[in-house]
Amino acid sequence: MMTIHFKRTALAAVFALLAVNTTTSLAQAPAASPPDPAATSVEAMGWMKGFPPPPDRLITFDDPAGGVFPRTRWSFSHVRETVPTANVWRGSGVPSPLPAAPRSDLEAVTFKPLGSEETLSFGQMIPRTYTDGILVLHRGRVVYEKYFGALTPERPHIAMSVTKSFVGTLAAILADEGRLDPSAPVTRYLPELKDTAYGDATVRQVMDMTIGVHYSENYADPKAEIWDYARAGGMLAQGPNYTGPKSFYEFLATLKKEGAHDAAFAYKTVNAEVLAWILRRASGQSLADLLSEKIWRRIGAEQDAYFMVDRIGTESGGGGLNTVLRDLARFGETMRNGGRAPNGQQAIPKAVVEDIARGADPAKFAKAGYALLPGWSYRNMWWVTHNPHGAYMARGIHGQSIYVDPKAEMVIVRYAAHPVAASAGNDPLTLPAFQAVAEALMRP
């Protein structure tokens, strides 16, 4: 039997990698000399090999280093073995088809990294960004699929903040069904937050992360609220004299307002947790059951997904979802097709997808200072490029992504274990590489 209390230290290690950093850290430059991808692979390091593994190759519940690179190249695809989780049932139906039409030319597609005159190939980008698995769909067919290290086609990998896009999509679905009113005050659903930063906020402001809330995710600051959040959820040891909040819900009730709502985009994980709470209240279901009913069963997933949960069994809506790569691709393809899943079912309302693809106000997004993402916006917890292809993304730290390019009829999904959490470790290579592959697929 899994004992949540026993795993607090392990959760602390995983949590430090789950929450997305603030604008400052997201804009930071990646390390000048990143670790050698081949030398830090699971095969080269020998993590968890043998029965039992040698002591210096173990990744255990109570080892904080289990969430630190290069151990993450194993632990990101073995989360269920280290922390308590909640299952997302795939249903009893037949998985949606993902027919194969491999393209041998894609690895040779070239691009220039952002801010560089160097020319790289798509094939070179993959190891340089510590990819665990990558899959490219074109017109619903798998044209490229590869796995590395500990990840295999049947093994789930942590999605990090790609989770938020699932939560935002669920909120938009409930709104389309008339079960959730985005224009309503948060307090209609969560009166417990009336004296918090969310007391005068709307659900829409939460969905688009334009909330003015005093909350820092600066890991370099031991007094940052991110650590209070971790302790409240039991992801850090609370200690015998701890008197603070003892759950996510209790912590969210302590958050105070800072600045005005709806003035600017401000990416903060607590907004996703508030939205997840709203979804539970509006639907009367757990987040895992809601995701199973509204998305996972409908898209014809081939494997169950699962969420990390906190000390009282609350799913992490900010970054705790784990899926196999092929099911992430099914979700992305469903979005590309206006909500129609590969099995032909209208899994997500078309209006929901269209609203996400339109995006929000780029002027509000610009105030957040993402130098590598000019002209983008954020809608229903999706990142919208507003580029000529109308591409939009779900994004998570360390390189997790769903990239939907409607014009190129392409979806790219990727799981990774980049040593740099911030998107600046991946974006200069992955964004132009994805665009280059899209253009290659559009050529006759």
* Terminal-to-terminal C-alpha distance of the chain: 56
For residue 131, give the 3-state DSSP assignment. Answer: strand
Rounded Cα distance between 254 and 279, Å, is: 20
Q: How far apart are CA 52 and CA 63, in angstroms?
A: 16
Instruction: Give residues with Cβ within 8 angstroms of 50, minimum separation 6.
Output: 57
Is residue 161 part of the annotated active site? The answer reads yes
Q: Cis peptide leading into 70, omega within 30 of 0?
A: yes
The amino acid at residue 434 is F
Give CA–CA dist 334/11, Å, rounded: 32
CA–CA separation, 138 and 442 (whole Å): 9
Closest by CA position to 348, among listed 395, 393, 296:
296
Distance of CA 131 to the CA centre of its chain: 15
Phi and psi torsions of 111, nearest 5°? -160, 165
Q: Which residue has the tokens 């253009």?
A: 439
> 363: which residues sit within 8 A by CB, 6+ positions away?
none
Sequence-distant (6+) residues with CB within 8 A of 365 are: 265, 373, 376, 377, 378
Nearest C-alpha neighbor of 309 from the set 275, 276, 268:
276
Q: Which of 387, 317, 327 is nearest to 165 (CA)?
A: 317
Give yes or no for a contact between 395 and 164, defined as CB atoms under 8 angstroms apart: no
Task: Tally Cβ neighbours within 10 Å of residue 261.
Answer: 19
Q: Give the integer Cα–Cα distance in Å for 237 and 210.
A: 31
Residue with structure tokens 């390390």? 31
Pair 137, 404: CB distance under 8 Å: no
Residues 6 or more apart whose CB falls under 8 angstroms from that of 326 comprise 98, 135, 145, 153, 302, 303
Angle CA 285–288–292, to nearest 5: 95
Options 25, 75, 77, 161, the catalytic residue: 161
Active site residues: 161
